[in-house]
Amino acid sequence: MRFLLIEDHAQLAQTVAERLALDGHAVDHAATLSDARDYLAVTAYDLILLDIMLPDGDGRDFLADHREGRSGDTPVIVMTARSDVADRIALLDTGADDYVTKPFDTMELEARIRAVLRRRAGQSRPVIRHGDLTFDVLSATLSIAGIEAPCELRNREMRLLEILLSAPDRIHPKAQLTDRLFSAADDVSENAIEVYVARLRRKLEDSSVRIETVRGVGYRLA
């Protein structure tokens, strides 16, 4: 998944970005609202992490404008130092999907991210089933019916499989997959997707589910 992190505190932003990268997420960091708008103008994100007090404006105003814009359905988790109930209610009413109160533990943030993404995908549990596959997002394990030992997935393998399983009948263009798996700071080509697809295919050898190449377009599950 690709996230936009809007946070002006450099050390906190680095900590959050590095932690999420360990989970296989690509994170673009914007230190100002202006930078965030530039990112949103050219990139589609799976989630936005939004600080409230920023050098060039109030994150609440940004949130309200975001909900009116073309990418307004992107889920938003607000990171705020405000702990009053009225403030939290106002954030949710403005359009936040969830919030964490600073200082927060990154494990709590990760859990809230998973919960928000599951709700957006219409899943109540962090387990996805398709054909003879059972994919547990929390443990990053892939089980195949009839095979005793589950497969362990590495971070980007896990995120790639999650994307494919989220819409198994859809063709996922290579450029779109690259955009969702890597941040703007990553120097990669679309050929990188072929590497992760090849790794997943090896782990699906005993499954009836296959990653099909649609020549010149991308990939889909078959």
- pLDDT tens sequence across 2-12: 999 999 999 99
Q: What percent of the chain has pLDDT above 90? A: 50
CB 110 within 8 A of CB 23: yes
> pLDDT digits over 18-41, tens only?
999 988 899 999 999 999 999 999
What is the model's pTM? 0.74
Q: Where do the DSSP E strands lie in 7-103? A: 26-30, 47-51, 53-54, 57-58, 76-80, 98-101
> pLDDT digits over 183-201, tens only?
888 878 778 889 999 999 9
CB 70 within 8 A of CB 89: no
May I ask the CATH architecture of the domain 2-121?
A: 3-Layer(aba) Sandwich (3.40)
At residue 22, φ and ψ (nearest 5 deg) are -65, -25
Q: How do the domains of the chain map onto residue ranges?
A: 2-121, 127-221
CATH, range 127-221:
1.10.10.10
Average pLDDT of the segment spanning 100-127: 83
> pLDDT digits over 52-81, tens only?
999 999 999 999 998 887 667 899 999 988
pLDDT value at residue 123? 57
* β-pairing verdict for 151-152 and 172-173: unpaired
